[in-house]
Amino acid sequence: MKREPISYQTISVVPLTPTIGAEVFGIDLSQPLSDVQFEEVHRAWMEHQVIFFRDQKLTIEQHIAFGRRFGELHVHPMASLPGYPEVIEIKADENTGYVQGERWHSDVTCAEKPPAGSILYMHKIPENGGGDTLFSSMYLAYETLSEPIKKLIENFTAIHDGEDAYRVRQNIQRESYPRAEHPVVRTHPVTGRKALFVNRSYTLRIPQLSERESRAVLDMLIEHAELDVMKCRFKWQNGSIAMWDNRCAMHQAIPDYFPLARYAQRVTLAGDKPF
């Protein structure tokens, strides 16, 4: 879907691809945003689904304050930075034994009200390169489905479960894990656009179908959403920030740097129940 380009007064916005992703220049996120700056950053975010900022220097408190400018912050169900429940530490090195986010996902879709978005601040990139992040447009994933498939899935829901992501992959032990049921196709509450809302990390099954049918349909939808045409790729630098819309974009951290170190911190924006 072709849309008219948007003009900005206080920031410069450079798209990464025609579909998803843009770099934003001319703003210092350590300082409080004016109303005009906030409106323009928000508009760029809604337009491009994920936006990126370079050469930022934020304290933890400034990172939290920037996130809160966009609404209430979500507290992750499993882990947070000591003393800062709103902040998640994204850490991988030779001691962790795994790379977080290496499977395609939208954040915490197993929650009853999945996050609206996430803001990741990179502190340390692997010294020899690597550790890029891919983002996929779930708007385009839905829009490029054939009409018969759109008709098939329009009233389907899917069960999203956190056990595999947390207990199996991150070895986080607890008595129960988040689980929720959401539409397979959700409507974005701001833009009104439809987006596919399934992912490899959390989506378990479609309850309206048999187990075999559900697996076949989910495999098809997820593989479709992971096609290269849906994606942009961001090469991190120390001090880079990515802000993505969890309601219409998936992401994947490329696990090509282990055992080198990669450290980041994330705040997450609270969301609403998908419809």
Annotation marks residue 107 as catalytic? yes
H helix runs in the chain, sequence order:
35-48, 60-68, 138-143, 147-153, 163, 169-170, 211-225
Pick the closest to residue 274 from 172, 207, 189 (CA basis).
189
Catalytic, out of 63, 74, 247, 266: 266
- The 10 Å Cβ neighbour count of residue 215 is 13
Pick the closest to residue 262 from 99, 143, 150, 138 (CA basis).
99
Catalytic, out of 63, 182, 247, 251: 251
What region does 262 belong to: left with phi over 0, alpha with psi -120 to 50, or beta?
beta
Catalytic, out of 74, 107, 160, 245: 107
Q: Give pairs for 7-14: CB < 8 Å, separation 24+.
A: 8/40, 8/43, 8/44, 9/36, 9/40, 10/34, 10/36, 10/37, 10/40, 11/37, 11/40, 11/41, 11/44, 13/44, 13/48, 13/51
Annotation marks residue 219 as catalytic? no
Annotation marks residue 161 as catalytic? no
Catalytic, out of 48, 105, 160, 224: 105
Q: Which residues are the active-site residues?
A: 105, 107, 251, 266
